[in-house]
Amino acid sequence: MAETILELRNVNKSFGAVEVLKNVDFRAKSGEVTALVGDNGAGKSTLVKCIAGTYVADSGDYLFDGKPVRVHTPRDAAALGIEVVYQDLALCDNLDVVQNMFLGRERTSGIVLNESSMEQAAQETLASLSVRTLKSVRQRVSSLSGGQRQTVAIAKAVLWNSKVVILDEPTAALGVAQTAQVLDLVRRLADRGVAVVLISHNMLDVLQVADEIAIMYLGRSAATVRRSEVNQQQLVELITTGQRSDAQADGTREVSA
């Protein structure tokens, strides 16, 4: 059984009078892909920002590797080994792959950048993920395809020995071939022992790579199910209504719509 490395319990978050998260539970396991799904406004983005330290939850427990922790800033999350790859990727088009992967964390030798060390580390990281679509780590990001950009962003997260990598809509706006490449990379990332959290509106992608699926509905945890327990129709039902007619039979948790 995979071990839970990240867990949030009874998390609440409000903005003024608006309750965005209401007693939300969430977990991610090492070596598995946990898909976080829900309709627009379900609270997915707010939950991820609470995990990443962009927001601080009003109440609830945050556990990492089984121990309570306090995450108040993105730096706190990064120190634990949590990296987030947002949908906009946060890559600089005018820089090459190496410069993007080390942006803000450059290696130096005295007062000079250690280019050879960074280039070697970038190449080794990409090789460890079996990435073969890049001609050179010195290519400018502006010359890369959407799938290649996503690959660089994921490799950048892996470079820092992350234990949890959160991917926000990694296949959005990608073609069929590029989507397949990214999903294959997501699977390889989990096979390395990393806990991968996949946020996606594409149910086919979710069903293809996820080991566990956490469904949110109107700011609440609607259910957490193993991939083998649901089909596409049942998953859509959970997302759109917050419940499933046979939910009690296979151990999922329901909320009232």
Helix, strand, coil % in the chain, rounded to nearest 5: 35, 25, 35
Report if residue 111 sits inside a domain. no
Report if residue 107 sits inside a domain. no
Report if residue 130 sits inside a domain. no
- Cβ-contact 60, 10 below 8 angstroms: yes
Query: What is the domain extent for residue 217?
Result: 4-90+162-250
Residues 6+ apart with CB under 8 A from 186: 33, 154, 167, 170, 196, 198, 209
**Structural domain count, the chain:** 1
pTM listed for this prediction: 0.87
Alpha-helix runs per DSSP H in 112-202: 115-128, 146-159, 176-191
Q: How far apart are the first and last CA of the chain?
A: 32
Angle between helices 176-191 and 146-159 (to 10 degrees): 10
Mean pLDDT by 10 residues, the chain (257 residues): 92 96 97 96 95 96 96 95 87 94 92 94 90 90 91 89 92 85 91 94 94 97 94 94 64 40
* Buried residues in 106-131 as b, exposed as e (16+ CB within 10 A): eeeeeeeeeeeebbebbbebbeebeb
Q: What is the pLDDT of residue 245?
A: 67
Report if residue 80 sits inside a domain. yes
Residue 218: how many CA atoms within 13 Å on its side-chain side? 9
Report if residue 241 sits inside a domain. yes
Q: What is the pLDDT of residue 256?
A: 36
Report if residue 62 sits inside a domain. yes
Q: At 10, which CATH number? A: 3.40.50.300
Residues 6+ apart with CB under 8 A from 111: none
Report if residue 97 sits inside a domain. no
Residue 192: how many CA atoms within 13 Å on its side-chain side? 21
Report if residue 98 sits inside a domain. no
